[in-house]
Amino acid sequence: MQKVKTTIQNWVKEAGEQVCACRDRKQGFDAEVNALAARALENILALPESRFDAAGADGLFGEKISLWRETGARDFVERRRPQACPGLPRDFCCDIEGLDVQQVLIYNGCVAGARGKNLLFPEQTAQLGDKPCVCRLSDLEATPSHRAKLAPFFEAAEKGLHTEKKHVSVRSTADFAQGGPDIGREEQKWLNRALSEDTLLIYLPEGCRLEKPLQIVSLNHSEKPVFVATHCWILLEKGASMHLVQCTDSHPQAEVFAEGLVEMRLAADAQLEYIRMQNVGDRCKVFHQLDAHLERASRLVTHFMTLNGGLTQNKVEINLTEPEARADVFGLYLQDKKQQVSNDIKINHTAPRTYSRELFKGVLDDAARAFFKGHVFVHPQALQTEAYQNNRNLLVSPKAQANAKPYLEIYADDVQCNHGVTVGQLDEDALFYMRCRGIPAEAARRLLMRAYADEILKEVGVEALRGWLDSLVRKRFNGQLQACQDCVLACPERTC
Amino acid sequence: MLLEIKDLKASINGKQILKGVNLNVNRGEIHAIMGPNGNGKSTLASVIAGKEMFKVDGGQVRYKDKNLFDLNVEERACEGIFLGFQYPVEIPGVSITSFMRAAVNEQRKYKGLDPMDAFAFMKYMEEKQALVGMTDKLANRSVNEGFSGGEKKKNEIFQMAMLQPELAILDETDSGLDIDALRIVAGGVNKLANKDNAIIVITHYQRLLDYIVPDFVHVLADGKIVKTGTKELAKELEEKGYDWLKDHDSGK
Amino acid sequence: MQAKSVKKQKEQDEILKEITRNDYEWGFETAVATHTLKKGLNEDVVREISRLKGEPDYMLDFRLKAFRQWQKMKEPTWGHFEHAPIDFQDIVYYAAPEKASDNPLDNIDPELLETFKKLGIELDESKELPKVAVDAIMDSVSVKTMYSEELAKQGIIFCSISEAIKNHPDLIRQYLGSVVPAGDNYYSALNAAVFSDGSFVYIPKGVRCPMELSSYFRINAKESGQFERTLIIADEGAYVSYMEGCTAPMRDKNQLHAAVVEIVVLKDAEVKYSTVQNWYPGDKEGKGGIYNFVTKRGICKGSRAKLSWTQVETGSAITWKYPSIILKGDHSTGEFYSVAVTNHRQQADTGTKMIHIGQNTSSTIVSKGVSAGESQNSYRGLVKVMPNATGARNFSRCDSLLMGNRCGAHTWPDMQCQNDSAVIEHEATTSRISEEKLFYCRQRGLSEESAVSLIVNGYAKDVLNQLPMEFAAEAQKLLSVSLEGSVG
C-alpha cells in the first residue's frame, strides 16, 4: 500500500514541475494554494495504511464505492498524470443545436484560454469586481479585495485539513447533534487539494443575472490510463443568478480517472442552477464532490445526470446555513453493462425554515449497480425545516442491483421530513395496455422509461438545456449514446 | 348572561385580526355571525375556544360569570364550550368511539361524575348517532380519516350531541356541503338547541339560515361587529352583498 | 396573558411532580435469599456456571468456545447512543433465588410468588383464567413454568432451557446456536458463554399450541447481569404465539441484559413472538437503568413458514436490538412490528433485518418511534434481497414522532436488492405531534396528557393491533405512562 502513497507523492512533484514550466507569473495566491496542497499531502501520507487497502473494509473515500476497493489500488498506481496543456485543442467548441451558451473548456484538467484574462470577456483582465468573471485562480492578483472575497473558501479548506476523526466509542448526546465536517468527505478533498493543478473560479457580482447559461466542458482523453484532478470555486454574491452546465466527457475508448471538486458559496438571495452531465466511456472513472454553502434565502438546484461511465461517484454536501435557504437535488442515472454509480448526498440543515428536496431516479440494466445514500441532518436550531428524500430504482435485468440508504438524523421537533425508496420494475399493466394498442414491447418499454426519466428532466430550468438533455436521454435509451456525440472527440471529422 | 364579549382584540403573528368585538349571548338564543372571508369570524371562534396561536391583546370575555381567559382549552370544553371546526382534524388510528369515550369521561370527571361504563356509553352513543343520522360503520372508523366533507361535518354535529355543550360555536359548518347534507346537519343542530344552551353559527352564506333560524344576525367586518339585526338582516345581505355595509359604515 | 403563562408553568410543575411520584411502578425490590457468584468473568466462571447447572460436557464446550471467541471480539460502536465503558469484570454473571425449583408451588419462596403477583403475573395455575402458560424467570434461573404437563399431552415441550439441555439434548444440539451462532456478535458471544436460563419451546408437527406461551423476566439481584437464552422450534405445520415481558428494580447503577432469542420455523409453521419490554429506564437524569443488548433472530426454514415479531419497547436506558428474520423457505413470510418510546435520557437503537433468500418471500416492517425528553430514538433496518429471491416483496413504513426540541429521531435504513423481480418499498416520515390534533382533542375536553396519549396510541395502532389481547391493554397503558411529563 506504500505504493499508493508514493504514487500520490510523485504526482504532486510532477505537477509542481509542470506548473513551473507552463506558468509565467509567480504572483497571486500561489503561497496559500501551495501551503494547502502541501498540508493536504501530509495529511494523506499520515493516513493509516488500512485506508488504502483495496481489500479492506476501511477503504478510503466512500462506503460502498471506495476509491481503492472498486477501482483497485493497482489501477490507481499504474496511472500517469497527463501532459495536458500541450495537447489542448486550439479551436474547440461544443456545438449543441439550439443552445446558446458561454463556454469554457478544460482539457485533461487544464483550463483553456488566455492567461490573466477573464474567460467570459477575453479583452478584460481577470478580476472579481462588478463584472461576472471566469478565470483561473492563478490568473488573479492577490489584492485585498480579492483576498476578502476568497477568504471563506480558504478558511473552509484550512478547517477541513484540521478535521480529525471523532473518537467513536464514547460520545455525549450533545455531540450527536453537532454534525460538522464529515471526515470521509474531507479526506477525498485532500486528494484533490494535493493533486489539482489549478482552480477554476466562477464569480458573479451582486445582483448580476447571467442570462446565457455557462457551460464548462471537461474533456478527458488519453489512450493510456491517466488521473485527472480538477478544482472549481463558484462564488455568487447577493442576488446573483446563473445556470451552469458542467459536462464531463471522454472519448469512448479513453481510460481516464477524473477526480473533481466543486466548492460553491451562494450569498443571500443568490440562485444557481447547476447541471452536472456525466457521459464518459466505460473505461472511465469519475469521482466527483460538490460542497455548497447557502446563505439566507439563496437557492441551489442541482441535476446529476449520469448517462454513461464505468464508475461514477457523486458526493454532495449541502450546508443550509441561514434561514430560508433552499436546495433541490435531482439525479438521474442510466446504467448498463457493468457500470456502477453512487450518489452520496448529505444535507445539513443548520438554520430555521430551510428546505431541501432530493429526488434520484435510476434505470439499471445488465449487471449495473447503483448505490444511493442520502443523509438529512437537522440541527436543533433548524426549526420548521422541510426535507424530502426520494430514491427510485428500476431494475430491468436479472443481474442489476440497487442499494439505498436514506438516512434521517433529526434533532428538532418542528420539522417535516420524509423519505421514500422503491426498487421495482416497469408497470406490467401499462406495458400490456400499450401492447394491446399495438405498440411493440420494446418501444413500450422505452416509452415508459422515458416517462420515468421525465420527472427529473422536467425540473431543468432552461428550456433549451432541457431539450438537449432530453435528446441525450432518448439516445441513451436507444443505445446510440456512448459518449457525447456533439463532442469533437467523438467525431474528430466534425471539428468546428 | 352566558357569554359576554367586551372590546375583544386579538392578533396572530403580530397582525391584528379582531379590533374590538362586542357580543352578548344568552341561553336559549341562536346567533349568526356573518361577514366576508378573512375578516375575523373564525378567529373569534378560535379565541373563544382558546387556540393558543392567537394572542389576545385586549378586552374581556366572561363566560358563565367567569373570566374565560383563566381557563385553558380543555377546561373551556368541560365548562360547556364546543367548537364545531371548519376543517375537522384527522386523527389516524383513533376510532370515533374511543375518542368520544375519552372526551365524555374527561368531561364527566371535571364535573365530579363517575365515568360511564362501556355498556351505558355504547347505548348513549347509539342514541346520539340516531339523532344525527350517523351509521355504525362511521363510528368505528378513525376520527375524520378519509371522511368526505359531509361526513366530517356530520361527525362534528354528532360530537356536539354527545357532549351537550352549553355554548356551541359552529364555524362554517355549511361550507362544502351539498343541500342534503346541509339539511341533515341543520336538522341535528335544531334538535340540539334548547332553552338552556346557546348556539353561535358562523357562516358566509345566508342559505344555512334557511334551516337554522337565528334570533340575531351580526355582521363581522374588519375585526368588528359592524351591524346587528334579526334574520331579516341576513336576507338583506344576501341581496345587497357586504359592500353595501362598507359604504354604509364609511358613510357614517 | 401574563397570568396565563404563569398558570401554564404551574400546571407543568404539577405534571412534573406527578411524574416524579409514580415513575416506574415496577421498581420495587424483592428480599429473597440469592445465591450469587463473585463478580467478574473468566474461564473458571464459565465452568462454574456450567457446573452449577449440572450441564453435560457438550454444553460446557459450547460455552468455552463462545467465551474464547468473545475474548477476541470488540464491542460494536456503530449504534447511535452513548454510554460510559462497560466494565465486564464488574458484573455478577450468576444470581439465583435460593429456594427456587421447578417442582410444585409450595417449594417456591412465597416472596417470589408475591413478586410476580405484584407484576401482574399469576403463577398459580388454578387461578389463571384466560389460560396463559408462563415461564417466570428471576435473575438467572427459571422459577416456575406453568402448564408444562398439560401441554406435554400434545407433545409440546415448554420448559426452562436448563431442563431442555438435560432432557432434550437432541433438539438442543441440533438447534442451539443454529440461528444465532455464538460468534455472531459481541453480546451473543457473551450470552453463549454465560447464559444461565431461559425458555425452551418445541411444538411438534401439525400441533397448534392451545394457549399463549409466555416468559416473564425479572432482574432482581444487585449488580447482576441477566443473560437468558430462548429457543423456540415450530415443527412442520405447527403454530405458537409467544409473549415476553420484563421488568427490573430501580437502581442507580446500570445493569446489563444481553439475551439471545432463536426461533426456527419449519415448513408451513407459524410463530408469533411478542415483546413488551419495560426494563427500568433509569431516572430523569439518565442515572441507572438497564443496558438492553439483545440478539433476536428467527429463520423461516421451510416453505410457507411465517414468523412475526411484535415489540413494544418502552423501558431500558439503552436498547440495542434488531429482531431479524431469514426468509429461506420459498413463500415464507416475515413481519416486524415495533413501537419504541423513549423519554428523558433513554436511548433506543432498534429495528430489524429481513434477509430474502427463498423465492416469493415477503416481509413487512412497521416501525413507530416516539421520542420525548432528551432521548435518542433510532430505527435501523436492513432489507436484503439475494440474487435467487425471485418475486421477493418488502414493504417498510418507519415513522418517527418528536415531542419537544431536545430529543432526536433518526432513521437508518439500508436496502440491498440483487434480484430484478423484487419489489421494495420504503416510506418514512418524521414530524412532531400535530398542534392541530392536540387542540382538537383538548377542545373536546381531553387534558393535554390524555390527548397526547390518545394520539400516540392511535399512531401506534398498527403495531398494537398485532399484540395478543392479553398484552395489548398493558402495552397501551405503558405507552401513556412512558410519555408522562413529556408535554409542554
**pLDDT band for position B109 (50/70/90)?**
confident
The pLDDT value given to residue A493: 36
The pLDDT value given to residue A69: 63
Half-sphere exposure of A138 toward its Cβ, with a 13 Å CA cutoff? 20
Rg (CA), chain B: 18
Q: What is the mean pLDDT of residues B23-28?
A: 95
Asked if the C-beta of A230 comes within 8 angstroms of chain C's C-beta atoms, the answer is no
**pLDDT band for position C24 (50/70/90)?**
low
Asked if the C-beta of B66 comes within 8 angstroms of chain C's C-beta atoms, the answer is no
Longest dimension (CA), chain B: 62
Asked if the C-beta of A367 comes within 8 angstroms of chain C's C-beta atoms, the answer is no
Query: Hey, are the CB atoms on C430 and A412 less than 8 Å from each other?
Result: no
Asked if the C-beta of A417 comes within 8 angstroms of chain C's C-beta atoms, the answer is yes
Residue with cell 483553456: A112
> Which candidate in A171, A366, A423 is best for mutational testing of the C interface (most C CBs within 10 A)?
A423
Among A104-118, A389-403, C89-103, C434-448, the range scoring the smallest mean pLDDT is C89-103
Residues with Cβ within 8 Å of C207's Cβ and at least 6 positions away in sequence, in order, are: C154, C155, C156, C235, C237, C238, C239
Chain mean position to CA B152: 14
In the predicted model, is pLDDT for residue C109 greater than 50? yes
Region of B38 on the Ramachandran plot (φ > 0 left; ψ -120 to 50 alpha; else beta):
left
Q: How many beta carbons lie within 10 A of that of residue B181, not counting itself?
A: 17
Query: Hey, are the CB atoms on C84 and A403 less than 8 Å from each other?
Result: no
Q: Which three cell numbers stand for residue A428?
A: 406490467
The pLDDT value given to residue C18: 44
- d(CA C334, CA C450) in angstroms, rounded, equals 34
- d(CA A228, CA A235) in angstroms, rounded, equals 23
The pLDDT value given to residue C105: 46
B52 chain-C contacts, CB cut-off 8 A: 439
**Among B55, B89, B110, beta carbon nearest to C440:** B89
Share of chain B above pLDDT 90, in %: 41
- pLDDT higher for C483 or C10? C483
> How many A×C Cβ pairs under 8 Å?
133
**pLDDT band for position C245 (50/70/90)?**
confident
Query: In this structure, what are the phi and psi dihedrals at residue B229, rounded to the nearest 5 degrees?
Result: -160, -160
Query: Hey, are the CB atoms on C82 and A403 less than 8 Å from each other?
Result: no
Residue with cell 429495528: C351
- d(CA C246, CA B199) in angstroms, rounded, equals 52
**pLDDT band for position C223 (50/70/90)?**
confident
The pLDDT value given to residue A183: 72
Intervals of chain A under pLDDT 70: 1-2, 18-27, 53-72, 84-98, 163-182, 433-434, 436-438, 480-496
What residues of chain C, 164 to 193, have a C-beta less than 8 Å from chain B? none
The pLDDT value given to residue B85: 87
> What are the CA-CA distances from residue A452 to residues A361, A446, A468, B122, C420 (Å)?
8, 10, 17, 52, 17
CATH architecture of B3-251: 3-Layer(aba) Sandwich (3.40)
Q: Nearest residue of C to residue A380 by CA position?
A: C405
The pLDDT value given to residue B31: 95
- d(CA C15, CA B9) in angstroms, rounded, equals 32
Distance from CA of C300 to the nearest CA of B (A): 31
Looking at chain C, which subunits does it touch, using at least 3 CB pairs closer than 8 Å as the criterion? A, B
- d(CA A377, CA A375) in angstroms, rounded, equals 6
Share of chain C above pLDDT 90, in %: 47
- d(CA C294, CA C346) in angstroms, rounded, equals 16
**pLDDT band for position C19 (50/70/90)?**
very low
In terms of Cβ atoms closer than 10 Å to its own Cβ (0-12, 13-18, 19+), residue B120 is exposed
Query: Hey, are the CB atoms on B93 and C435 less than 8 Å from each other?
Result: no
Distance from CA of C192 to the nearest CA of B (A): 41
**Among A168, A410, A413, beta carbon nearest to C404:** A413
**pLDDT band for position B131 (50/70/90)?**
confident
The pLDDT value given to residue A306: 92
Distance from CA of A308 to the nearest CA of C (A): 21
- d(CA A326, CA A349) in angstroms, rounded, equals 10
In the predicted model, is pLDDT for residue C39 greater than 70? yes
Query: Hey, are the CB atoms on A421 and C80 less than 8 Å from each other?
Result: no
The pLDDT value given to residue A171: 44
Q: Which of C35, C59, C34, C30 is nearest to C47 (CA)?
A: C59
Query: Hey, are the CB atoms on C432 and A415 less than 8 Å from each other?
Result: yes
Question: Would you kindly state where each structural domain of chain B is located, as residue ranges?
Answer: 3-251
Asked if the C-beta of B126 comes within 8 angstroms of chain C's C-beta atoms, the answer is no
- d(CA B115, CA C450) in angstroms, rounded, equals 15
Q: What is the mean pLDDT of residues B10-19?
A: 91
Q: Which of A325, A389, A327 is nearest to A353 (CA)?
A: A325
Query: Hey, are the CB atoms on A420 and C405 less than 8 Å from each other?
Result: no
The answer to whether the CB of C31 falls within 8 A of the CB of C111 is yes
Q: Which of B8, B20, B33, B59 is nearest to B228 (CA)?
A: B33
- d(CA B152, CA C126) in angstroms, rounded, equals 50
The answer to whether the CB of A237 falls within 8 A of the CB of A267 is yes
In the predicted model, is pLDDT for residue B169 greater than 90? yes
Q: Which of C400, B197, C38, C164 is nearest to A415 (CA)?
A: C400
- d(CA A134, CA A198) in angstroms, rounded, equals 13
The pLDDT value given to residue A51: 73
Q: Nearest residue of C to residue B47 by CA position?
A: C443
Q: Nearest residue of C to residue B83 by CA position?
A: C443
Asked if the C-beta of C415 comes within 8 angstroms of chain B's C-beta atoms, the answer is no
Q: Which of C55, C68, C313, C108 is nearest to C193 (CA)?
A: C68
Query: Hey, are the CB atoms on A419 and C418 less than 8 Å from each other?
Result: no
In the predicted model, is pLDDT for residue C476 greater than 90? no
Q: Are strands C132-138 and C212-218 parallel, antiparallel or unpaired?
A: parallel
Query: Are A and B close enough to touch, i.e. 3+ CB pairs under 8 angstroms?
Result: no
**pLDDT band for position C28 (50/70/90)?**
low
> Which candidate in A410, A416, A426, A428 is best for mutational testing of the C interface (most C CBs within 10 A)?
A410
